[in-house]
A = this chain, B = another copy of it.
């Protein structure tokens, strides 16, 4: 990462085609050969590698090719005055460079590759007939060759390649850096993986660092043996905890804003990225616009069309949400309760074990099925872009998992009102999740990876097998809806469920904080290693915040206020009298105070640091100073022309 990252162009995209023998005369019309020729014509650097069972086409793009594609796509890039402007090759000096000195971010490069690869269309006036293994393939007019070959099954996969040099650098400075787990080279992660993954790791790091405070607190409490004064310390602990959580999320928002400013990513006020993302992908709200063109230019009709479209979309989404919520309550809830009840009723340990196995088996299918249905539903919503759709899915699937992981514990907490068994259940749950997780993550074959690295740049054959090895690695994708979400979904889900579990039952089992702090500390590096060695390089995503997950964490915070109050009531009301004595009244008061803290505190800490704001203000002013004269002239010129035309009519 030394100043001129763009000059040694590395291969970043791999295409997989089956190995086959090409007949002598067919070379001109063999579709793979044509594809490679077209790639070369498009200005890409091509390297072909023969693997054991497949052939790999590795692609790299020189700066010029990327620049041309960016200009064609009219991608907006931040300039030195802080405004995002469409890229123009001639004015390259005006655009801000990435932290490592390269001009384009990984996300932009990926967009360009996509444009270049799928932009190879038949520009001649005839249908071109190509050969493949004796078969004839008709390349229609204006049809994308790559897409055609994908649908014919000739191109097995197009996937982003790891950059060996940078990957090894990251391995050393990040995944295999066994010192201060919460410190991470976020900038390098951003450069290599894009915003979304970098933001996830920044969040994970900060969350873990903040988690150490309550963990230390509960350990101290445990050492002092607070059992004697439990009735007093628990509410105090509870209030401190909620304040801690509220402050954490406010400071996270600030950190997010600061990170984006450091990476020169412009974002709108309040981190509301809807307006930002609309620029990136196609604005699908144009559908009513098309309608409007038919209707003519009547202003009120335009307004009505928009309103109809807007409310229809809302209704659609509301319906979907209602269906999901109802099916969770009507189908999942009885199932979970039945399991929890049976588990309590059954005496023998063996039976219990069997029941749990059946349950785990059933629930796995259940959640997968639910996730698929949610993904289907989302297709019918008019969400305006990919990140929006993803958020909608996140909410729905989180609902499923949340219900699954918490309802049993709730059952224990409320029906038995026995803190001891509740604690046991919690420990079991946390332990099980930790063990399962560690099993998964320790199945990473550390030494095997070491092998693969050591021989990374020696001989050709080793090199060949590396591409193939990468191809054989799994894609970084979520359990549900591969096509919609990447693996971050699982990691966030895990974090959110953990957060929910420890916060909601904080009063029953404060030590959970220590457990989960330890868990998170030991999770950062394996997560990093997983990304760098286990999977294909993930497709970069444009999202610049943690999106829907922030709302989910906030929701969990409110839930935990309520549920912890219920637990406190149980604690004070051991005899089950349910009498609203001063103690219980005090708990109600505490609940309301905490809700106030939740919704009031967030106003005390502003979401955006003052320097970020000042920076943005300066930028906005500069931009307007530069262009206002020019703009005004062109506007008034246009206005005059229009007026004159009107006079002529």
Interface residues of A (CB under 8 A from B): 76, 79-81, 83-86, 88, 91-94, 268-270, 272, 275, 278, 283, 285, 288-289, 302-303, 306-307, 309-310, 314, 318, 558, 562, 578-581, 584, 592, 595, 599, 604-606, 609-611, 613-614, 617, 623-624, 626-636, 638-640
Question: CB-CB < 8 A to A578: which residues of B?
Answer: 579-581
Q: How far is the CA of A604 from the CA of B228 in the complex (A)?
A: 47
- Option from B84, B86, B88, B639 in Cβ contact (under 8 Å) with A93: B639
Q: Knowing A81-B635, A269-B269, A580-B578 are in contact, say whether A592-B310 is a contact too (CB < 8 A).
A: no
Determine whether the beta carbon of A627 is less than 8 Å from that of B636.
no
Determine whether the beta carbon of A310 is less than 8 Å from that of B632.
no
- Option from B92, B307, B580, B627 in Cβ contact (under 8 Å) with A611: B307
Least CB distance, A187 to chain B, in whole angstroms: 15
Q: How far is the CA of A599 from the CA of B562 in the complex (A)?
A: 15
Q: How far is the CA of A639 from the CA of B96 in the complex (A)?
A: 11
Q: How far is the CA of A288 from the CA of B615 in the complex (A)?
A: 13
Q: How far is the CA of A558 from the CA of B558 in the complex (A)?
A: 15
Nearest B residue (CB) for A275: B269
Determine whether the beta carbon of B624 is less than 8 Å from that of A85.
yes
Q: How far is the CA of A629 from the CA of B303 in the complex (A)?
A: 32
- Option from B94, B592, B613, B636 in Cβ contact (under 8 Å) with A632: B94
- Option from B79, B580, B633 in Cβ contact (under 8 Å) with A635: B79
Contacts A92-B636, A94-B635 known; list 20 others, CB within 8 Å: A76-B624, A85-B628, A85-B632, A86-B628, A88-B629, A91-B635, A94-B631, A268-B269, A269-B269, A270-B270, A270-B272, A285-B613, A285-B614, A306-B611, A314-B606, A558-B599, A580-B584, A595-B595, A626-B631, A626-B634
A-B contacts, 14 listed (Cβ < 8 Å): A76-B624, A83-B624, A85-B631, A88-B632, A91-B629, A91-B635, A93-B636, A94-B633, A283-B617, A307-B610, A562-B592, A579-B579, A595-B595, A627-B634
Question: CB-CB < 8 A to A611: which residues of B?
Answer: 302-303, 306-307
Q: How far is the CA of A604 from the CA of B316 in the complex (A)?
A: 12
Determine whether the beta carbon of B285 is less than 8 Å from that of A604.
no
Question: CB-CB < 8 A to A86: which residues of B?
Answer: 624, 628
Determine whether the beta carbon of A309 is less than 8 Å from that of B636.
no
Question: CB-CB < 8 A to A624: which residues of B?
Answer: 76, 83-86
Nearest B residue (CB) for A631: B627
Q: How far is the CA of A307 from the CA of B615 in the complex (A)?
A: 13
- For the complex of A and B, the 10 pairs showing the least CB-CB separation, nearest first, are A93-B636, A91-B632, A94-B635, A306-B611, A310-B610, A578-B580, A94-B636, A627-B627, A306-B610, A85-B628
Q: How far is the CA of A318 from the CA of B84 in the complex (A)?
A: 37
Determine whether the beta carbon of B606 is less than 8 Å from that of A310.
yes
Least CB distance, A394 to chain B, in whole angstroms: 14
Nearest B residue (CB) for A595: B595
Nearest B residue (CB) for A569: B580
Least CB distance, A604 to chain B, in whole angstroms: 7
Q: How far is the CA of A614 from the CA of B278 in the complex (A)?
A: 11
Nearest B residue (CB) for A622: B635
Question: CB-CB < 8 A to A580: which residues of B?
Answer: 578-580, 584
Determine whether the beta carbon of B83 is less than 8 Å from that of A631.
yes
Question: CB-CB < 8 A to A613: which residues of B?
Answer: 285
Nearest B residue (CB) for A309: B610
Q: How far is the CA of A634 from the CA of B578 in the complex (A)?
A: 74
Least CB distance, A414 to chain B, in whole angstroms: 12
Q: How far is the CA of A604 from the CA of B289 in the complex (A)?
A: 23
Nearest B residue (CB) for A318: B604
Least CB distance, A122 to chain B, in whole angstroms: 31
Nearest B residue (CB) for A84: B624
Determine whether the beta carbon of B639 is less than 8 Å from that of A80.
yes
Nearest B residue (CB) for A562: B592
Determine whether the beta carbon of B630 is less than 8 Å from that of A630.
yes
Question: CB-CB < 8 A to A635: which residues of B?
Answer: 79-81, 91, 93-94, 626
Determine whether the beta carbon of B610 is less than 8 Å from that of A81.
no
Nearest B residue (CB) for A579: B579
Chain B CB within 10 Å, residue with most, of A94, A309, A632, A639: A632
Q: Knowing A268-B269, A269-B268, A640-B93 are in contact, say whether A289-B614 is a contact too (CB < 8 A).
A: yes
Nearest B residue (CB) for A625: B86
Question: CB-CB < 8 A to A318: which residues of B?
Answer: 604
Question: CB-CB < 8 A to A629: which residues of B?
Answer: 88, 91
Q: How far is the CA of A272 from the CA of B270 in the complex (A)?
A: 9
- Option from B81, B269, B638 in Cβ contact (under 8 Å) with A272: B269
Q: How far is the CA of A638 from the CA of B94 in the complex (A)?
A: 9
Least CB distance, A554 to chain B, in whole angstroms: 9
Question: CB-CB < 8 A to A275: which residues of B?
Answer: 269, 617
Q: How far is the CA of A85 from the CA of B631 in the complex (A)?
A: 9
Q: How far is the CA of A335 from the CA of B558 in the complex (A)?
A: 35
Q: How far is the CA of A623 from the CA of B640 in the complex (A)?
A: 18
Determine whether the beta carbon of A632 is less than 8 Å from that of B283.
no
Question: CB-CB < 8 A to A609: which residues of B?
Answer: 303, 306-307, 310
Q: How far is the CA of A85 from the CA of B624 in the complex (A)?
A: 7
Question: CB-CB < 8 A to A91: which residues of B?
Answer: 629, 632-633, 635-636
Determine whether the beta carbon of A604 is less than 8 Å from that of B307.
no
Question: CB-CB < 8 A to A640: which residues of B?
Answer: 93
Question: CB-CB < 8 A to A93: which residues of B?
Answer: 635-636, 639-640
Nearest B residue (CB) for A643: B93
Question: CB-CB < 8 A to A617: which residues of B?
Answer: 275, 278, 283
Least CB distance, A389 to chain B, in whole angstroms: 17
Least CB distance, A525 to chain B, in whole angstroms: 29
Q: How far is the CA of A580 from the CA of B629 in the complex (A)?
A: 71
Q: How far is the CA of A278 from the CA of B85 in the complex (A)?
A: 24
Nearest B residue (CB) for A299: B611
Q: How far is the CA of A53 from the CA of B283 in the complex (A)?
A: 67
Least CB distance, A621 to chain B, in whole angstroms: 8
Q: How far is the CA of A39 from the CA of B641 in the complex (A)?
A: 38
